[in-house]
Structures are given as structure tokens and as C-alpha cells.
Structure 1
Amino acid sequence: MGALLTATGICKHYRVGRERVHAVHDVSLRIDRGECVGLVGESGCGKSTVAGIVTSLIQADAGRVLLEGRDISAGSGRRRNVCTAIQMVFQSPADSFNPRLTLGDSIIEGLINQGIAKQEARNLTLEYLGLCGLPKTFADRYPHQVSGGECQRASIARAIAVQPKLLICDEATSALDVTIQAQIIDLIAKLRRELSMSCLLISHDIALIWEICDRVMIMCEGEIIEDGIPSDIISHPKQEYTRSLIEAAFLSSAWGGCCS
């Protein structure tokens, strides 16, 4: 397939009082074209910091991020190109929308910023809302007028409307009810197939995402400690931390040979 995105040796630390805390330490990763990769770990392990560095929202202290061989690290001057090529879906969909704009206008605004004419932008908005399972009437609704699941669908529609090469979902379902979580994951899987996108799914719950991922990376205390095919990691985890994640997600009851 070939590499779409590679990150090599990325590090990020923060000052907490007099202490220097490593949020991310020497992380390297690769996402191929059309590949769906999961990044799993408990809250505070550095997953969102990795996402911020990959999208150039956070400047790493060390390391490089390449998109199709071009350096897109924060400070490289290519932030505008990153906005189109990499889109992000966040945990709280309502907070990612301007409350004074309708859902449709929020999507249209992003398309116009990409140089698309207003009427074409509106037509595309309705098309992508439909792809995400929302009726055209939702274009005229405000974020507070829809449910959390519907708002997240609109957030995904906004992200894919600019036809990104990589979609990053950072805990995109954790604020939703369990049944809605499954629907959103199914939607992401469907869109990935139909639009031939690469995906990076960030979650603390391996049980939620492993079935749709080609590969899963396990992150602990700022480092990636395992990387492999989901079924292999679930059946034969190499690290005790990975084993505990799987057990906490109740996968062991569904997999007879899990964690053997």
C-alpha cells in the first residue's frame, strides 16, 4: 500500500511545577494508505498528544512527521496543507461546532475556505450529511438541537467533506451511550471503505475498535509498547499492561484463548 504518514522519534514534555514530565517519549509510527490503525491506552498516556503532533496542532520537542514524504511537523510552514489532508474528530462534538452557526453552515464554511463555491459547498454538505446517516433537514439545525450521536455524525460529515487522506478520531465515541458508540464505529468503518481513507482511531477501549482495525498500537506512559494485528495482540499480549487493558475491556470472556 505504501506509507501515507510516518512519525519518527517524536518526543514532547511539559513543565509541571519544577518537574519535566514526558507526555510522549521516542514514539515512531506508520500509517499506510487505506489502513485503519488503533492507538489504545488509558487516559493520560499520551494518545491525544500524539494526535496533536501528527496534525501539527502541537509542536514536538524532537522527531519528525512526514505526510507522503513531506515534513509536516509544526513549524515546517505546511500547516495549511495539513488541514486538508488530515482531519480530526474530537471527543465532544458539540464543543467542536460554533453554537451560533447551523450544522450545515459550519460544514459549508470549511468547504468555502478550501476555495469551493457557496452553492457547490451547500450541495456537498447535504451529500456528506447523507453519507453519515443524517437527513438534509439537519443542515438547518443548531448543535444544541440534535443529540450527541447526531452531532458526532455531523462532525464526521464536516471532517470528510474536504476529502482528507487521513481521518483521526480522538476518543470520538467516549462521550456517547454504548449503543450509539457502536453505531459511530460502524459508520467510520463504512466511510473508510467507501472513501478509501486511512484512519487513526484513538481510544482507551480496545474492545470498541479492534474489529475494524488492521493494526493496533498499545501506548503506556508516553511510549508505544506493542504494535501488531489486533487478534494477535488480544490472544497473545506480550506486556502485562496490554493484558490488563484487554481484561478491563471484558474481551477475555468473548475470546476463549484470550491472554493465554
Structure 2
Amino acid sequence: MSVVVVTGGSRGIGAATCVKLAADGFDVVVGYTADHDAAARVVAEVEARGRRAVAVRGDVASEADVVALFEAAGGLGALGAVVANAGITGNTPGRLDEQEADTVRRVLDVNVTGVFLCFREGVRRLSTRYGGPGGALVAISSTAAGRGSPGEWVHYAASKAAVETVVRGLAAEVGAEGVRVNCVAPGVVHSELHAAAGMPDRPARLVPRVPLGRAGQPHEVADAVSWLLGSGAAFVTGAVVPVSGGF
């Protein structure tokens, strides 16, 4: 089985995705930004499922760090897939006119430039144009891209809308080169994102707006990623798959 790179793999949706893809038979590169202990725990969970893993620290907004991440993947074997999961909200919720320019720049740099860099490196290794075997790329967006996230994170929602545009455009560019490009858009999911933004009660607060009556779990998003990377989605590219309970 081939290797998958998962950015933001030390927690939440990223960690669940690493574990799920290990169960699917992938060896895993766990990309993370700061929490080495959390990344090490994910590596241990992957290894417990009989697969190899390595944790690589870096900032997806840094070209040099992303290149190093993919070089580490080469040390495990042939790349087969990329999951561009790393993303930030900027942490401070509020109206757009209350946001600092530096915060917005950082959110766009991580959420949009980070996906661009990871997908660029993935295409350079997977596309038949470069002698690659083909493969699949998946980005993690958010249903906020369609709602705009007013009063909380308009800049974050805008970054996720940009990610979905990248997915659609790149899918058209590289489809004939053996590379499928798709996106999963979670809704309200129990993860560390809410507490990091100072709103640990956010999932509970939004549940009344979710038709299925609950917040999602990280493993439910990971299941969708797994499907998009697998043979069952062999005729799927350029898609945005909501995992949102209808919200």
C-alpha cells in the first residue's frame, strides 16, 4: 500500500483521518505544527494498526516546510494520496470589521496557500505528467464556505470557499493525468477548534440548527475522506462532499 500525507494530523479531524487511513492500509505522514506529544500519540495509533508512520513538524504556509514534509513521505515509500486538513480560524470570533489585518492574512496563508502548496507537491509526485502513478487529493473545507459564518469568522469562511474553488479547478487540470481532487466540507463537529477560539460550547449552541439534531464526530469526517481516496469513488473528482447533518 502507498503513503498518505495528512496535514494537521495531530488532533481532531486530522488525527481521526490518520487512524482511519491506517486501517485502510496506508502508511501515514502525520503533519503537525506544534504539539509533538499529540502527533506522537497519533503515530502510535497508526502503528497499532500495523502500518508505518512518521510525524513531521512544519507550517503549511511555508514552502520549505511543505517540501520537507513530502520528502519525509518519500522516506516511507511511494506517495498515493494527500489530505490537506490543516486550517485555522484565527481564533478570535467577531464581525469582519473587528478583525485585524494580520489575523486575516494568517488565516488565508494557512488555509489557502497551505492547500495550494500541498496539492502542488502532491501533483508533482502523483501526476502521470511527471511520471507518477496517479492518486488522489482531498482538502478539508467547511460548510461555512456557503453560509459565510457571519458574526464569527467571515474571513475563515472566505478561505474555505477559496479551497473549494481550488479543488474544482485543479480537478479539471489533472483529471486526465490520473489524479482525482475532491473536498470534504464538515459542518459542526466536536473538535478542539471551538475551544481554541474560546467557544467550547459552540457545538452545543449550534445543534438546534442541525437537521440531524447533533454535532458530528471527527471519525465521521474521516470516513468520507477514506471513501474519496478509495476505489469506490473512482469516478468522483471536483466534488465537495458535505458531512454536516444538513447544516
- If each structure's helix is expressed as a fraction of its own residues, which one has the higher value? 2
Q: Give yes or no for TM over 0.5.
A: no
- If each structure's strand is expressed as a fraction of its own residues, which one has the higher value? 1
The structure with higher relative contact order (CA 8 Å, sep 6+) is: 1
TM-score interval, normalised by the smaller of the two chains: 0.3 to 0.5
